[in-house]
Structure 1
Amino acid sequence: MKRLVALVAGLSLLLVAGCSSPSDGLVTPTGPAPSTIAETAEHNDTDVMFLQMAIAHHKQGLEIVKLAKDHAVRSDVKTLAAAIEVTQLSEIDSMTKWLGDWGKPESSGTDMQLHADHGGDHSTRPEDIAEIAALPSGEFEKGFLNLLIAHQHNAVAIAKFEREGGSNPQSKGLADRIFESRSAQIAQMLGYLN
């Protein structure tokens, strides 16, 4: 499993690196690679909640970025969406593994109080995703970018929660990478809108 995660992470880096150059403005991953942080079973409740919230959030992100495959958007937007998809699939694999290693479930269930205690519900409403999917081609790209910006902003908020209260080095390292990369993606997408 570790080899598969490393392979997917490597492919993600190659995809992003192969599709961009310093002059084209595309975001490349930042922070240490997952394999450079020594794995430990030490964790706290914040680490668990972060991973559970992030997995659910990532799965919604995958729904959103897959919309770019079926709609008319510029090539830079398609490339960014594809890179996000590969990265988030790899991150889900890592997060699921860590929770499994800790004997924790992938989801905290639907206890909204738990979410409220950790900054609120950071999900994107399924109705919003469906509304963007139904937009005509002339309006889709702008709606897609606005929805993805809001979604990635929520990822930054979830990562901040872990950076401030987590204790597990892998989980905190992932939160650092999510915080940096999603902030950069937001800036990139705002540039596409202007």
Structure 2
Amino acid sequence: MRRLTILLAGLLALTACGGGAAEQAAPPPAASTASSAAAGQEFNETDVMFLHMAVPHHRAGLEIVRLAEERDVRPDVKTLASAIKVTQLSEVDSMTQWLADWGQPEAAGDSPELHAGHGGDHSTSPESIAELAATPPAEFEKAFLNLLIGHQHNAVEIAKLEREGGLNPQAKELANRIFDSRTAQIAQLLGYLG
């Protein structure tokens, strides 16, 4: 129960950090667009930033859910982890293809300044994933659920950025799906903890 309380407090802090002052301090990127010669689609800096944040975030999520495949967890938890894996693999394929079509690199780099204008880095650290992997069997499911709740909350925060400032219709539609599906998953995961 103490870990859940700490997790919920952390989620509230992340929401405050990711949604308040950063959004007010940094106006959305200008409506200027760049055209993709390959795809003929318009996009802006927010679309590219969204994909640069979402691709590694999804890949970290894949590492997390793969751990549930290998460990002893309830069938419902294992089923959800498998569904998340299928969805996120498909989404990564789409996002990396869009970046290629737009002539953009797949990654933006790791500089902390890159995240200053949008509330900070929303990724789950490799250390957190390694800690989960080392969790004893009796404690694994609870630790998995807690980490995945925080991870999916960060996905919602990333999606909000695109919904508010993106231009590309495909990227915005993906952000809407991520926002809705991850919000539902968080509720489901909290139910598993209850």
TM range (shorter): 0.7 to 0.9
Higher RCO by CA contacts (8 Å cutoff, separation 6 or greater): 1
Distance 1:75 1:102, change over 3 A: same
| Superposition CA RMSD, Å | 1.0
Aligned residue number for residue 156 of structure 1: 156
Aligned residue number for residue 102 of structure 1: 102
Q: How many angstroms apart in 1 are the aligned matches of 2:127 and 2:47?
A: 29
SS at match of 2:43: coil
AA aligned to 2:70 is: D
TM-score, with normalisation over the residues of structure 1?
0.79
Q: How many angstroms apart in 1 are the aligned matches of 2:137 and 2:122?
A: 28
Distance 1:40 1:147, change over 3 A: farther
Aligned residue number for residue 177 of structure 1: 177
**Across the two proteins, how many residue pairs are aligned to each other?**
156
Q: Deviations over 1:6-40 (max 9, x none)?
A: xxxxxxxxxxxxxxxxxxxxxxxxxxxxxxxxx86
TM-score, with normalisation over the residues of structure 2?
0.79
Give 4+ residue runs of structure 1 displaced > 6 Å after superposition.
none
Conservation of the 8 A alpha-carbon contact between 1:52 and 1:107 = yes
Conservation of the 8 A alpha-carbon contact between 1:40 and 1:169 = no
SS at match of 1:167: coil
Please say if 1:127 is aligned against 2:142. no
SS at match of 1:121: coil
Q: Deviations over 1:127-173 (max 9, x none)?
A: 11111111111100000000000000000000000000000000000
Aligned residue number for residue 59 of structure 2: 59
AA aligned to 2:188 is: Q
Q: How many angstroms apart in 1 are the aligned matches of 2:70 and 2:131?
A: 15
Q: For structure 1, which runs of at least 5 residues remain unmatched after alignment?
A: 1-38
Q: How many angstroms apart in 2 are the aligned matches of 1:138 and 1:120?
A: 34
Q: Deviations over 1:90-142 (max 9, x none)?
A: 00000011111100011101121111212210111111111111111110000
Conservation of the 8 A alpha-carbon contact between 1:40 and 1:168 = no
SS at match of 1:58: helix
